[in-house]
Amino acid sequence: MSAETTVAKPLEEQADSVERTRSGHFYRPLVDIIEQPEELQLIVDMPGVKSDEIDIRFEDGELHLQGPVNLRQPAETRFLLQEYGVGDFDRTFRVSEQIDASKIRAECADGVLTLHLPKIEAAKPRKIAVTAS
């Protein structure tokens, strides 16, 4: 029997995952991505996160979203059932060059973050006029 131990990441975590350097729980927020003619919209569920606590960064072609999940009840609360955890929402997306990163904007209401990623002019659909010959 070998003393070597191998740990394999689940397949979905292998590609482009980030190793965390601090302890605590991390939650992957659920996201809908909608393509509109002028932009992509990311609709991100981040319940319990205040809009002023959301950290959105764009760097090296990646859009990183982070927000703290804080304790909702006093620490001494005696739960009969506790499914809500404390930690951070954390998700990163690789953004295409078809997006105008300088015009990305975000808004948050009722625990739902909406990001607007406008397309560059060359990526927007355009109508081609047909002329008679």
Tens of pLDDT along 38-91?
999 999 999 989 999 999 999 999 999 999 988 888 889 999 998 877 889 999
Strand order in the sheet with 62-69: 26-27, 87-94, 62-69, 55-59
pTM greater than the 0.85 cutoff: no
**Which pLDDT does position 6 carry in this prediction?**
37
**From CA 127, how far away is CA 110, in angstroms rounded?**
38
Residue 108 is encoded by which pair of tokens?
């948050």
Of the listed ranges 20-24, 25-29, 72-76, 88-92, the least confidently predicted one is 20-24
Residue ranges of alpha helices (H) inside the chain are 11-14
User: What is the CATH class of 22-31+49-72+84-105?
Assistant: mainly beta
